[in-house]
């Protein structure tokens, strides 16, 4: 059951990314180009997602409480900030964040395959070297 | 190119919120793409649902590529060394920073997590700065 739900969630997630414009690197870069011809569209993706998720999360927390597996860490630390900074640079260089990068593998185009392989290698590398 | 698309973007965002809510309500999990997939590369015990979510993303992708190919065009224009560097940074950085646009930007901000707010401001900030440097300083 949990695997079926996860699969359906993945499919809907992919559709949302594509409709929202997140799988078009030029659109992502136009969103990140604050000082050029700024395209604010992708702020609406985040806004739309939070508008749906936030009320459901707070209701679920009251109803399900301990059955939710939420991140334990509370305060920002150096690892969090350095990692996020690295992610932002990679995002700004190419225009893919992890979800769209994975969905775009299906295009079987060279850029998507190279980026996706490098991203998975980066994740793997962190699993090997990154623990302190 | 296509310009401002607030309606389709908000609709797409709502679907992402819905997908994330399903994972929360039925599985009790945070829908962070980098965390879900990263868990597969680092030998977590609970691989089943992670693999299923990834399969959903990929199957969804294949259907979308045939139904709405324009959603993937044009593909990234970066040269291959830049693609490799960018991919490594995104992969390593999201694992080190415990999340990406979905886990921090959507789920974390909705939970009012101070860590996710700090992470989101940071990756947005370095993203803006990177595009500024590439497009306006180097170009």
Nearest-CA distance A130 → chain B (Å): 7
Contact B58 A105 (CB under 8 A): yes
pLDDT in tens, A64-81: 877 888 888 789 999 999
The rounded distance, in Å, linking the Cα atoms of A54 and B106 is: 9
Structural tokens at position A47: 């806004």
The rounded distance, in Å, linking the Cα atoms of A57 and A50 is: 10
The confidence score (pLDDT) of residue B1 equals: 44
Contact A13 B134 (CB under 8 A): no
The rounded distance, in Å, linking the Cα atoms of A31 and A45 is: 11
Window 90-129 of A, Cβ < 8 Å to B: 90-99, 101-107, 109-112, 114-127
Helices (H), chain B: 6-27, 33-41, 47-67, 80-96, 109-110, 114-132
pLDDT in tens, B58-108: 999 999 999 999 999 888 888 999 999 999 999 999 999 999 999 999 999
pTM of the predicted model, to two decimals? 0.95
Question: Among B84, B94, B8, B24, which residue's Cα sits nearest to residue A82?
Answer: B94
């Amino acid at each position: 059951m949990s695997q079926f739900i996860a699969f359906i969630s993945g499919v809907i997630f992919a559709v949302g990314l594509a409709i929202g414009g997140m799988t078009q690197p030029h659109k992502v870069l136009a969103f990140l180009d604050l000082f050029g011809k700024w395209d604010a569209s992708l702020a609406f993706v985040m806004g739309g997602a939070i508008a749906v998720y936030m009320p459901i999360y707070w209701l679920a927390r009251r109803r399900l409480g301990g059955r939710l597996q939420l991140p334990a860490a509370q305060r920002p630390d150096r690892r969090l900030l350095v990692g996020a900074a690295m992610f932002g640079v990679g995002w700004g260089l190419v225009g893919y964040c992890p979800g769209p990068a994975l969905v775009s593998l299906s295009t079987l185009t060279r850029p998507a395959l190279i980026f996706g392989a490098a991203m998975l290698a980066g994740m793997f590398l962190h699993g090997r070297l990154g623990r302190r | 190119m296509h310009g401002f698309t607030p309606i389709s973007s908000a609709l797409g965002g709502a679907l992402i919120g819905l997908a994330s809510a399903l994972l929360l309500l039925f599985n009790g999990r945070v829908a962070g793409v980098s965390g879900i997939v990263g868990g597969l590369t680092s030998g977590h015990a609970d691989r089943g649902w992670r693999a299923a979510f990834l399969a959903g993303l990929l199957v969804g992708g294949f259907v979308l590529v045939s139904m709405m190919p324009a959603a993937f065009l044009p593909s990234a224009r970066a040269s291959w060394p830049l693609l490799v560097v960018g991919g490594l940074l995104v992969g390593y950085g999201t694992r080190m920073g415990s999340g990406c646009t979905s886990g921090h930007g959507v789920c974390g901000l909705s939970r009012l997590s101070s860590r996710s707010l700090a992470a989101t401001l940071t990756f947005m900030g370095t993203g803006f700065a990177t595009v500024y440097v590439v497009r306006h300083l180097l170009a």
